[in-house]
A and B are shown apart, each in its own frame.
Chain A
Amino acid sequence: MATLELRNVNKTYGAGLPDTLKNIELSISDGEFLILVGPSGCGKSTLMNCIAGLENITGGAIMIDDQDVSGMSPKDRDIAMVFQSYALYPTMSVRENIEFGLKIRKMAQSAIDEEVARVAKLLQIEHLLNRKPGQLSGGQQQRVAMGRALARRPKIYLFDEPLSNLDAKLRVEMRTEMKLMHQRLKTTTVYVTHDQIEAMTLGDKVAVMKDGIIQQFGTPKQIYNDPANLFVASFIGSPPMNFIPLRLQRKDGRLVALLDSGQARCELPLGVTDAGLEDREIILGMRPEQISLMQGEPNGLPNIRAEVQVTEPTGPDTLVFVNLNGTKVCCRLAPDVAPQVGETLTLQFDPAKVLLFDAQTGERLGVVAKPQAQVHSDNVAQFKGR
C-alpha cells in the first residue's frame, strides 16, 4: 500500500544519445491502478524498470510513500514485478518459485507455507504447486508469475505487458480477473501495455507515452473524451478516431467545418469562436460512434448523404466506411443496419463532440466539447446535393 510519485524523471543512455525518458511527472495515490500505454519504443518499459530500480535514472526523483527511492537497489524498494515473459525460474517447482522471494527475505518456513497456500488459493493454482514451469500452459505460467508477485505483499506491483503472450480469449479472461484481483487487494499498481483496450478497462489513471514523453495523464474517460493531442486521440479507441483535414470557415459569426461526401455537402457548426482558427489547415477528429444514421425527419443535427464504400459487420456493430473530404471515414452503426456497398446513407454528426487539432503540431485546438444548447436547424445550414 503506497503512493507513487515521479518527479521530473529523466533517463538517457549516455551523452549525445536521445533521451529515453523526458521530464516524466506523475503521481498516483494509494491503491490506484496506473496504466503506462504507448507504442513500442516509447519508453514505457524503461520507465517501469526505473521504478523497479533495475535501471538508474539520470535525473529527477522517484518517491514511494514520500520517500525518495531513486538511489535504492531493487530489493529495498519493496516492489514486485510480473514480466512479459513471466521469468519463472525454470529449475524450480511452482512452490519454490513463489517461495523464493520469501526465503531470500528470511521469512519463517511456517509463515512461508501459509503465504504460498493463500496465494495458491487466490489464483487457483493449488494443484500445480509441485510442477515445473515447463510443464505448465501459458495461462498457468502467467498465474504463477502473478502468484510470485502477490506472495511478497509488496508496496507496489509492476506489470510489464503481462497478458501479451496469451491467446486472445485467455487475455480477455485474465484482464477481468486482474481487475477483480485489484478491486479485492487494492494494492498500488503500475501496468505497462501497448493494448489500448487494457488501458481503458483496467486503469484508474492512464499515462499515454510517446518518444519518452508523457503525452497525457488522466483518467481513461478524460483520455478518451478529451485527448490532449492528435497522438493520444489516434492511439486510444478502436476502431480509431477519424481525422479529416480541412479549413474552417466563418459563417454568421461562428466557425464552421465544411464536409463534402461527393454527393452532398454539409456545414458543421463548431462551438469555438477563436479568430485564430479561421482559414487555417486543421484536422477535425470524430470518433466512429459519434456518427449515426439519420432515421426519419431531420432532428436538428447536421447530416450528409454519403455512399457506402466498405462495410464490416463485427457482431455488436456494423462499421461502415464512407468518403468525406477525400478521407476514409469509419462510422459505427447499429448491427441491424446492413447497407450494401454503393448504397447511399444519410449520416448525422453531433458537432458538440467534434475535436480540432493543429495540422502541423498535432496539438488540440480550442475546447469544442462544450455543448451548444441552441444547435437548431435555424442556424444549421444544410446543403442537400441536388
Chain B
Amino acid sequence: MTSLAHKPAISLSRIAIYAVLIIAVLLYLVPLVVMLLTSFKSPEDISTGNLLSWPTVITDIGWVKAWATVNGYFWNSIKITVPAVLISTAIGALNGYVLSMWRFRGSQLFFGLLLFGCFLPFQTVLLPASFTLGKMGLASTTTGLVFVHIVYGLAFTTLFFRNYYVSIPDALVKAARLDGAGFFTIFRLIILPMSTPIIMVCLIWQFTQIWNDFLFGVVFSSGDSQPITVALNNLVNTSTGVKEYNVDMAAAMIAGLPTLLVYVVAGKYFVRGLTAGAVKG
C-alpha cells in the first residue's frame, strides 16, 4: 500500500479524517479513563477532587474491597457462563449441520420458527421460563439459570452455524457418505475442522450475552448463587452509608474484564467469521 503512495501522505482530507477518528476515540475512552482513575483513588480524593482529576495517592483499596465483595459472585458467573456457552454452541453447531446438510421435510419452516427466538425479548420469556423451571424442580438453582441461557441462546447459535454451513458445498457431505462416513463422523472429521471462525463468533457472542446478562440472573437465581452482574447492582445500589465510588468502579471493571479478555483473544475471528461468505477467499 505505502509503495503506491507517490504524493506526500499528508493532505488536508487526511488530517480531517484523522481528527474525526481521534475525537471519536477520545470520546469512547473518557468513561474508561474516569473508571480507571476513580478506582485507584482514595476516598478522600473522591470527595475533594472532580471526576477527571488525577489521584493524589494511587491506592488499591478500592480494588481489594471490590474483589472481597464480588469474588464469590465472579465464580458464580463463571460457573453459569462456561457450561451455558459451551453447550449452546455445541447444540447450535449440530442444529446448523442438520439444517443445512441433512434437510428434512419442513426443515425450512423449523428454521424459520427457530429464528423467532432471536427476536423474543427477555421479558416475554420470564414467566413461562420460571414456570417451567419450577415444574422441573430447578427454580433458583445455577443449573436452572444455565438451562435458560442455553435454550435462549440456541436460536442465535443455530442461526450462526446454519448460515455458515450453507456456504459449504453439499458435495463434501456426499463424498464423505460414499467414503463410508456416517452422520456424526462427517460432522466430527469434515465439518467441525472447517468451523473454527464460526465457533469463535459463537463463543464470543454467547459469552458476552450470558456474562453480561442481568435480568435472567436476577430472576432465576437467589442469594449466594447470583451472577456478578446482580452482585454489582446490589453493591452499587446500596442506599446506606457513604458511596464508595472507587469500590463501585473497581467492581464494575472486574465484572467487565472477562468479556474484554475474550474479545482480545478471539476478536480477530469475530470480524472474519461474521463476514465469512460475504467475499470469497
Contact = CB atoms under 8 A, between A and B. Distances in A.
Interface string A46-59: 00010010100000
Contacts of A89: 172, 175-176, 189-190
B177 interface: yes
Contacts of B179: 75, 100-101, 104, 148, 152
A74 B177 contact: yes
Interface in A70-101: 73-75, 79-81, 83-87, 89-92, 100-101
A105 interface: yes
A80 B169 contact: no
Interface in B151-179: 169, 171-172, 174-179
A86 B171 CA distance: 8
Interface string A151-180: 010000000000000000000000000000
B171 A104 contact: no
Interface in B174-196: 174-182, 185, 189-190, 193-194
A105 B177 contact: no
B169 A87 contact: yes
Nearest to B171: A87
B194 A80 contact: no
B174 A104 contact: no
Given A85-B169, A87-B169, A91-B193, A104 B185 contact: yes
A86 B189 CA distance: 18
A101 B169 contact: no
Nearest to A77: B178
Given A87-B169, A91-B194, A100 B178 contact: no
Contacts of B178: 52, 54, 74-75, 79-81, 101
A101 B190 CA distance: 12
Contacts of B174: 49, 52, 54, 74, 81, 83, 87
A87 B181 contact: no
Nearest to A96: B189
| Residue among B174, B179, B194 having the largest count of chain A Cβ atoms under 10 Å | B179
A142 to B, nearest CB: 14
Contact of A101 (B171, B180, B193, B194): B180
Contacts of A80: 178
Interface residues of B, number: 17
Contacts of B180: 75, 101, 104-105
Contact of A104 (B169, B181, B193): B181
**For the complex, would chain A's binding face be called helix, strand, loop or mixed by DSSP majority?**
loop
B272 to A, nearest CB: 16
Interface in A26-71: 49, 52, 54
A85 B174 CA distance: 12
Contacts of A75: 177-182
A79 B175 CA distance: 11
A100 B189 CA distance: 10
A90 B182 CA distance: 18
Nearest to A90: B194
Contacts of B176: 89, 100
Interface string B184-211: 0100011001100000000000000000
A276 B96 CA distance: 63
B185 A87 contact: no
A358 B189 CA distance: 56
A83 B193 contact: no
Contact of A87 (B172, B189, B193): B172
Contact of B175 (A49, A83, A91): A83
A93 to B, nearest CB: 12
A89 B171 CA distance: 10
A11 B146 CA distance: 47
Interface string A89-131: 1111000000011001100000000000000000000000000
A41 to B, nearest CB: 17
Nearest to B170: A87
10 contacts: A74-B177, A75-B178, A75-B180, A81-B174, A83-B175, A84-B171, A87-B172, A100-B181, A101-B179, A148-B175
Interface of A: 49, 52, 54, 73-75, 79-81, 83-87, 89-92, 100-101, 104-105, 148, 152
Q: Closest 4 CB pairs between A and B?
A: A101-B179, A87-B171, A91-B193, A75-B180
Given A75-B181, A83-B171, A87-B169, 14 more contacts: A52-B174, A75-B182, A80-B178, A81-B175, A83-B174, A85-B171, A87-B172, A90-B194, A91-B190, A91-B193, A100-B181, A100-B189, A104-B181, A105-B180
